Amino acid sequence: MLVTGGAGLLGSHIVDRLIDTHEVVVLDDLSTGSMDNLAIHVDNKRFTFIEGRISSEAIVKEAIERSKQLVQSTTYLDNSIVGFI
Ligand SMILES: NC(=O)c1ccc[n+]([C@@H]2O[C@H](COP(=O)([O-])OP(=O)(O)OC[C@H]3O[C@@H](n4cnc5c(N)ncnc54)[C@H](O)[C@@H]3O)[C@@H](O)[C@H]2O)c1
């Protein structure tokens, strides 16, 4: 499961709920989010963190290749979309 914005307020709670039953990949640029929100998961084998922007094709490709489903909780998509979950 790919959670974009997974280091944010809502995204990190989504990760908390998913991690027991799914492999979770978080893609986040840490612009407003924080690794503090994910600290309890960093040693979990089912957890992967990728730092990067959702506007980067290469990074999104990598994240999608490692995931089968998507939860999108990013706030900004390069200023073109604000507010998305
Ligand atoms: N918090 C609320 O009560 C609430 C209520 C309704 C809707 N929402 C919406 O839910 C979404 C998440 O809200 P939140 O409160 O968790 O915000 P947040 O800022 O805590 O989380 C957003 C996350 O997205 C990351 N991010 C932003 N731009 C990015 C980019 N271009 N690429 C990768 N990562 C990026 C940030 O670093 C952050 O971790 C927002 O779209 C918000 O508008 C929030």
Please report the DSSP string for 39-59 in residue order. GGGTT-TTEEEEES-TT-HHH
Predicted confidence at residue 43, as pLDDT, reads 97
Closest approach atom of ligand 1 to CA 82:
41
Provide the whole-model pTM.
0.88
Determine whether the shortest distance from the Cβ of 81 to ligand 1 is under 6 A. Answer: no
pLDDT tens sequence for the chain (85 residues): 899 999 999 999 999 999 999 899 999 999 999 999 999 999 999 999 999 998 899 998 888 888 877 676 666 555 444 444 4
Report the alpha-carbon distance of residue 62 to residue 36 in Å, rounded.
24
Report the alpha-carbon distance of residue 22 to residue 18 in Å, rounded.
6
Residues 24/48, Cβ–Cβ less than 8 Å: yes
**Protein residue with its CA nearest to atom 43 in ligand 1:** 83
Predicted confidence at residue 69, as pLDDT, reads 72
Predicted confidence at residue 64, as pLDDT, reads 87
